[in-house]
Homo-oligomer: A and B are copies of this chain.
Amino acid sequence: MTKQENRQEAKKITFNVSKENSFSEWYSEIVEKAEITDLRYNVKGFVVIRPWGAMLIENMYKIYEKELQKTGHMPTFFPTVIPEENFKKEAGHVEGFTPQVFWLKEIGEEKLALRPTSETAFYQLYSSWIRGLADLPLKLYQRANVFRLETKATRPLIRAREFLWIEAHDAFSSKEEAEEQVQEDIAMTEKIMHQKFLVPFLPMKRPEWDKFPGAEYTIGSDTIMPDGKIIQQPSTHLLGQHFSKAFDIRFQDEKGESQYVWQTCYGPAISRILASVISMHGDDSGLVLPFSISPIQVVIIPIFNEKNSKKVLGEAEKIEKELEKAGIEAKIDSRESRPGEKFFFWEMKGVPLRIELGEKEINNHELTLYSRDNKEKLKIKNKNLAEEIKKQGMKLDARLLERADKKFKDSIANCKTKQEVSKALENKKIARFSFCSVKKDGEECAGFIEKELQARVMGTRHDKKEKAEGKCIICNKKAGEIVYAARSY
């Protein structure tokens, strides 16, 4: 514990806002109370991420980057600025992103954009780096801040004009390999975002009118917020040869012929995933953080009086050291506040496990372990403690995952009519229904849904083939697809 923390009292002890009834207020309050973000920075749409949020984001980056490296990606750092000429090279890309670009004041002749994403930065060099089959596949990523001139209302971590993400840019010698990469990306979202950060999602193939600017197709990962609005998490794009043709990225194939590479890109926005983690698991007492990413995994609250403080604090320190040695992030709260105040404080912060340790416990060689998610207490033996804590941490994560999965599954409503869709949306659900087409000719019906029901057609399931039945609920033509739609952030 640092000096500054020790001197603070557990000031902001209670949090009590109903997440169910007023999610928007709950969210705005908890990110400030738990000191995840601060909105008082004096530039529209830009927020400050405070230590508790920054440590969470660092842990999430670490886990994601490790997995990217495991799958053969190497790190790189590209410049934050992109020249206008690069932007203009891919027609769909420039059209899609131009309204969202922050431009720098010209420096001499140079017209520079702040990257909203980095395809047009990376791919210029890919054309220098890729010559033959030996240079492929090329799989690079960077952790980076990106900038988008959002015009909709910004919300901390959910939508901001600057956010923290990872972007992976891969190039292959065949379309087949590129499509395999799309699968690998989705599997990574499943492995990391779902299994580690405990955020369930639907992998949705976006309709033609909603794909990434410059892509052949886009698979978005949609998850839901407690207010029934969906939020897009990591998306992966089959860029095909659109960019390789625009940037002249070619390789010599086995026959010595020059071919354009096939490309994919993948973009997990770490700060936005944190928004989902917070919203998915929190409760009316504050944050509930997964054991896998919490900056403090176990807080130790010593319960002592003047007489036994030395004994109790000594034992607490022994436990802290033992846990840290086993790679568990543990912390003693030895501030002078009352234990009850500390309990509320760390519950609000979302720390998954709490050890309560008093003289009685020490004498009995046991301690009290409190789990943040179900608020249950366990007496556990002070033996093989690190193993036991890890086990309990994993159990806690498993419970969070099960609950989130169930809730997510329950949030999908099968609808047969427009009225049922409307009702599902009112009930904060994702509507699943028959729809004419996700090609260009379905855009009108989607526009109708957006206008009349304020919902977005998310697309079709990428993880399974769903057979359309009956008619499009909007235009009554023969249905070509089963689609999902919801209100969205």
**Interface residues of A, Cβ cutoff 8 Å to B:** 2-4, 7-9, 38, 40-44, 46-51, 53-55, 57-58, 72, 74-83, 85-86, 102-105, 107, 110, 112, 114, 121, 124-125, 128, 133-140, 142, 145, 147, 149, 162, 164
Closest to A85 in B: B42
**B139→A4 contact, CB < 8 A:** yes
Chain B, residue nearest A171 (CB): B4
24 residue pairs A–B, Cβ–Cβ below 8 Å: A2-B139, A4-B72, A41-B79, A41-B124, A42-B86, A42-B124, A43-B83, A43-B110, A44-B107, A48-B76, A48-B78, A49-B76, A49-B77, A51-B74, A51-B76, A54-B74, A54-B75, A54-B77, A77-B164, A79-B162, A80-B80, A103-B104, A103-B105, A104-B114
Is B76 a contact partner of A50 (Cβ separation < 8 A)?
Answer: yes
* Residue from the set A40, A57, A77 with the largest chain B CB neighbour count within 10 Å: A77
- Give the CA-CA distance A60 to B198 in the complex, in Å: 31
Residues of chain B with a CB closer than 8 A to A105's CB: 102-105
Question: How far is it, in angstroms, between the C-alpha of A216 and the C-alpha of B349 when the chains are bound?
Answer: 38
Distance (whole angstroms) from the CB of A354 to the closest CB of chain B: 21
Docked CA distance A105–B103 (Å): 6
- For residue A43, which residues in chain B have a CB less than 8 angstroms away from its CB? 79, 81-83, 110, 112
Instruction: Establish whether residues B72 and A125, one from each chain, have CB atoms under 8 Å apart when the complex forms.
Output: no
Given A103-B104, A104-B104, A133-B7; A44-B76 close (CB under 8 Å): no
Complex contacts, A125 vs chain B, CB 8 Å: 38, 40-41, 48
| Cβ-defined contact, B135 with A4, below 8 A | yes
Residues of B within 8 A of A142 (CB): 54
How near does chain B come to A116, taking the closest CB pair, in angstroms? 13
With a CB–CB cut-off of 8 A, which chain B residues contact A137? 3-4
CB contacts (< 8 Å) of A53 on chain B: these are 77
Give 18 A-B pairs besides A4-B138, A55-B75 with Cβ atoms closer than 8 angstroms: A3-B137, A4-B137, A7-B133, A7-B136, A8-B135, A40-B128, A41-B121, A43-B82, A43-B112, A46-B81, A48-B77, A49-B78, A50-B76, A51-B76, A77-B164, A80-B80, A102-B104, A114-B114
Residues of B near A85 (CB, < 8 A) are 42
Name the B residues within 8 Å of A162 (CB-CB).
Answer: 79-81
Closest 5 CB pairs of A and B: A51-B74, A2-B72, A46-B79, A49-B77, A54-B75
**Per a CB cutoff under 8 Å, which of B49, B110, B134, B139 touches A9?**
B134
Q: Which residues on the B side are within 8 Å of A9 (C-beta)?
A: 134
Residue of B nearest to A57 (CB): B77
Once bound together, how far apart are the Cα atoms of A354 and B414, in whole Å?
Answer: 62
Distance (Å) between the CB of A180 and the closest chain B CB?
Answer: 12
Residue from B75, B82, B128 within 8 A of A38 (CB atoms): B128
Which residues in B have their C-beta under 8 angstroms from that of A80?
Answer: 80, 114, 145, 147, 162
Please, how many angstroms separate the alpha-carbon atoms of A9 and B107 in the complex?
42
Within the complex, the shortest CB–CB distance from A273 to chain B, in Å, comes to 15
**Contact of A48 with B79 in the complex, beta carbons under 8 Å:** yes
Whole-angstrom CA separation of A136 from B4 in the bound complex: 6
A107 near B112: Cβ-Cβ < 8 Å? no
How distant is A38 from chain B, measured CB to nearest CB, in Å?
A: 6
A128 neighbours in B (Cβ, 8 Å) = 38, 40
